[in-house]
Amino acid sequence: MTDATRLRAEHLTKSFAGRRVLDDVSLSVAKGEVKGIIGPSGAGKSTLIRCLNGLEPLDTGRVWLGADELTARKADIDALRARIGFVFQDFNLFTHLRVADNLMLGLRRVRKMDAVEAERCARAELDRVGLADKWQAWPAELSGGQAQRVSIARALAMAPEVMLFDEPTSALDPQSVGSVLRVMRELVAGGMTMIIVSHEMAFIEAVADDVVFMADGAIVEEGPAGQLFNTPHAAATRAFIDGIAAAHRGEATTP
């Protein structure tokens, strides 16, 4: 491992009710690197990314954030999670809190900031995602795209060392997708370390340095974005990418 490695996972396995969902998966992302994860529904992408910050307990395998091991017996998992940003497919904004308090909850309770500092920090992040005027709004009053940008701001406010995205645009209408992807592009440009699970192939191809193709709980293929999308080695990868492309052209995916 080089000093630049931010997040590293080795030999992860995980079963649900006896069914193997992750089968010896290893993965690492370097400082400033953007890694895309693609694959068919049920491949285990969400499970993998949730295991990376301990939201889902592992059966076996180890995960490190920098030099600190999340899976260590004595690890302070809460403190480590605070250093990893996570963005959910369905936002999970706290429905009982205004946008402002959604952003400040972690700052106050975890980072132990005082009210003034937390507000300054939260306002800056909300401004960064272009929603400064939603400070006092309730989550229910936001459109899907706005809610997802607030949830990104909530994660960014904690000044994470790495950001994990689990299909951040899948629950959005087509108009909203663009606004969220724009924010994510800016993060990429700012040098944020990111792991992105997404079905937005064009976006992944454009921003990811490296792409992982998963199927049936295992990594089938991993490589630079351009190579993986244009000249994939594995037949399964090609079939998946062709299928997506076909679907986009409005053709039937099966003869």
Residues that bind another protein (CB under 8 A): 50, 53, 55, 78-86, 88, 90, 92-96, 105-106, 109-110, 151, 154-155, 158
- The one of ligand ATP, another protein, Mg ion, none whose footprint includes residue 92, by CB under 5 to 8 A per kind, is another protein
- Least distance (Å) from ligand ATP to the CB of residue 249? 21
Contact 71, 81 (CB under 8 A): no
Distance CA 5, CA 24 (A): 20
Q: Measured from the CB atom, is 40 or 66 closer to ligand ATP?
A: 40
- Residue 21 contact partner, candidates another protein, ligand ATP, Mg ion, none, CB within 5 to 8 A by sort of partner: ligand ATP
Interface positions with ligand ATP (CB under 6 A): 16-17, 21, 39, 41-47
Residue 103 interacting entry, from another protein, Mg ion, ligand ATP, none, C-beta within 5 to 8 Å by type: none
Instruction: Select from another protein, Mg ion, ligand ATP, none the partner in contact with residue 94, using the beta carbon and a kind-dependent cut-off of 5 to 8 Å.
Output: another protein
Question: Do β-strands 60-65 and 5-16 pair in parallel, antiparallel, or remain unpaired?
Answer: antiparallel
Q: C-beta of 215: minimal distance to ligand ATP in Å? A: 9
Of 46 and 151, which has the nearer Cβ to Mg ion?
46
To another protein, the closest distance from the beta carbon of 166 in angstroms equals 10
Residue bearing tokens 């991993």: 222
Q: Indicate the residue among 18 and 255 with the shorter CB distance to ligand ATP.
A: 18
Give me the residue label for tokens 């068919």.
40
Binding interface with Mg ion (CB under 5 A): 46
Q: Give me 63's structure tokens.
A: 């995960």
Shortest gap between Cβ of 175 and another protein (angstroms)? 24
